[in-house]
Amino acid sequence: DTAVSQTPKYLVTQMGNDKSIKCEQNLGHDTMYWYKQDSKKFLKIMFSYNNKELIINETVPNRFSPKSPDKAHLNLHINSLELGDSAVYFCASSQGGQSSNQPQHFGDGTRLSIL
């Protein structure tokens, strides 16, 4: 069973469109994350939710809006897609609250390409 699963794996779309990426974890973790990995493999955190509450919100354009319907799911909606949004987006999860420092487990990523 996949621990952290993301859909879709690949997303090719045109500039200006709106798209969503979904993430689900079956590890029973309390905290979920969205990361962006650019072409140089650099991973940068975008958002984090703990028990459906937003706890990390990095400097990300407000075209990006995360939503957590429950602690096992964290979705990412992107409005008005731009060329610079092309990247691999990773979802991750970990156990515990803000100071627990438990390791994070990652999904296999969603490869977003903007035409």
Partner 1 sequence: QKEVEQDPGPLSVPEGAIVSLNCTYSNSAFQYFMWYRQYSRKGPELLMYTYSSGNKEDGRFTAQVDKSSKYISLFIRDSQPSDSATYLCAMSAWSYKLSFGAGTTVTVRA
**Interface residue list for partner 1 (CB under 8 A):** 4, 31, 40-45, 48, 56, 90, 92, 94, 96, 98-109, 111
Q: How far is the CB of 71 from partner 1 (least distance, A)?
A: 15
**SS3 at position 108:** coil
- Cβ proximity to partner 1: between 45 and 60 the closer is 45
Q: Are 106 and 90 in contact (CB under 8 A)?
A: yes
| Buried b / exposed e along 29-41 (16+ C-beta atoms within 10 A) | bbbbbbbbbeeee
Q: How far is the CB of 80 from partner 1 (least distance, A)?
A: 27
- Cβ proximity to partner 1: between 45 and 72 the closer is 45
Which residues lie across from 11 on neighbouring strands?
Answer: 112
Q: How far is the CB of 87 from partner 1 (least distance, A)?
A: 14
- Cβ proximity to partner 1: between 15 and 55 the closer is 55
Structure tokens at 69: 């319907």
Q: Are 68 and 32 in contact (CB under 8 A)?
A: yes
Q: How far is the CB of 16 from partner 1 (least distance, A)?
A: 27
